[in-house]
């Protein structure tokens, strides 16, 4: 099988660092953000979370300025982000079965590569695509279609794994199956073909 992975919240548990950075920034504005409230917003996107917080607390800051500050602070904690061990095991098993692993993410490719190298994972992926390749962000299917076409992948032998509904939408628009990773067991409303709470549910075999 061929697996197209999302990165943050799917392959790596990036939420703790993202939450830490958001709370640190808004604390400077005198706002103490509830972790559950913040995590729910971040399940959509960082921009969605920012815009909702900005509106709820009437903060005078634009998203670009916020992201400049965010990126500066995040760099201090970037290596605190750890992979889901069973996701790593699934990647290795897929390679053993002659499958291919890919990453498509909105994150900077250099940051992704550094984290993969630090965790000895850089050899697990055939290719890493980001918006820096000129591809539209999800829910656009641009990135997935690019991978399918570049590597001549069969749609019936390819699926995606992501933690947000935009991952599911992008995959279905591209004509492939999609798995929603829901580690918090929120029983999210989804159009995903399968929802899993733990990668152990997929490790025994790669047939979905």
Quick one: residue 171, left, alpha or beta (phi over 0 = left, psi -120 to 50 = alpha)? alpha
Phi, psi of 128 (to 5 degrees): -125, 120
| Predicted local confidence at residue 175, as pLDDT | 98
Same domain, 109 and 179: yes
- The verdict on residue 206 lying in a domain is no
Q: Is 44 exposed, middle or buried (0-12, 13-18, 19+ CB in 10 A)?
A: middle
* Residues contacting 40, CB < 8 A, separation 6+: none
- The verdict on residue 31 lying in a domain is yes
Q: What's the CA gap between 143 and 104, in Å, rounded?
A: 6
- Structural domain including 48 reads 15-80
Phi, psi of 148 (to 5 degrees): -60, -45
User: Is the per-residue pLDDT at 79 higher than 90?
Assistant: no
Question: What mean pLDDT, rounded, does the chain reach?
Answer: 93
Average pLDDT, stretch 168-185? Answer: 95
User: Is the per-residue pLDDT at 205 higher than 80?
Assistant: no
- The verdict on residue 196 lying in a domain is yes
CA dihedral 169, 171, 175, 177 (to 10 degrees): -110
Q: Decide which of 47, 65, 80 is a domain's last residue.
A: 80
Q: Residue 185 to residues 57, 68, 182, 197: CA-CA distances in angstroms?
A: 29, 33, 6, 6
Q: pLDDT tens, 11-64? A: 999 999 999 999 999 999 999 999 989 988 998 889 999 999 999 999 989 999
In 3D, which of 48, 64, 15, 55 has the Cα closest to residue 31? 55
| Predicted local confidence at residue 207, as pLDDT | 53
How far is Cα of residue 95 from the mean position of the Cα atoms in its chain? Answer: 21
- The verdict on residue 112 lying in a domain is yes
Q: What is the tally of structural domains in the chain? A: 2
Same domain, 188 and 112: yes
Joined together, the tokens standing for residue 110 give 């250099």
């Amino acid at each position: 099988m061929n697996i197209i992975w999302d990165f943050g919240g799917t392959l790596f548990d990036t939420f703790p660092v993202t939450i830490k950075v958001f709370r640190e920034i808004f604390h400077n504005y005198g706002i103490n953000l509830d972790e559950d409230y913040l995590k729910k917003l971040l399940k959509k996107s960082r921009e969605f979370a920012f815009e909702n917080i900005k509106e709820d607390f009437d903060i005078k800051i634009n998203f670009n300025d916020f992201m400049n500050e965010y990126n500066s602070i995040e760099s201090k904690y970037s290596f605190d982000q750890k992979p889901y061990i069973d996701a790593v095991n699934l990647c290795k098993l897929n390679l053993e079965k002659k499958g291919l692993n890919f990453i498509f993410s909105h994150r900077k490719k250099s940051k992704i590569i550094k984290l993969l190298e630090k965790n000895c994972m850089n050899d697990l992926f055939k290719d890493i695509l980001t918006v820096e390749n000129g591809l539209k962000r999800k829910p656009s299917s641009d990135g997935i279609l690019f991978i399918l076409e570049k590597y001549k992948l069969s749609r019936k032998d390819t699926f995606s794994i992501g933690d947000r509904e935009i991952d599911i939408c992008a995959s279905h628009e591209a004509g492939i199956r999609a798995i929603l990773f829901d580690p918090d067991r929120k029983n999210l409303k989804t159009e995903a073909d399968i929802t899993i709470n733990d990668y152990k549910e997929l490790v025994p075999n790669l047939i979905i």
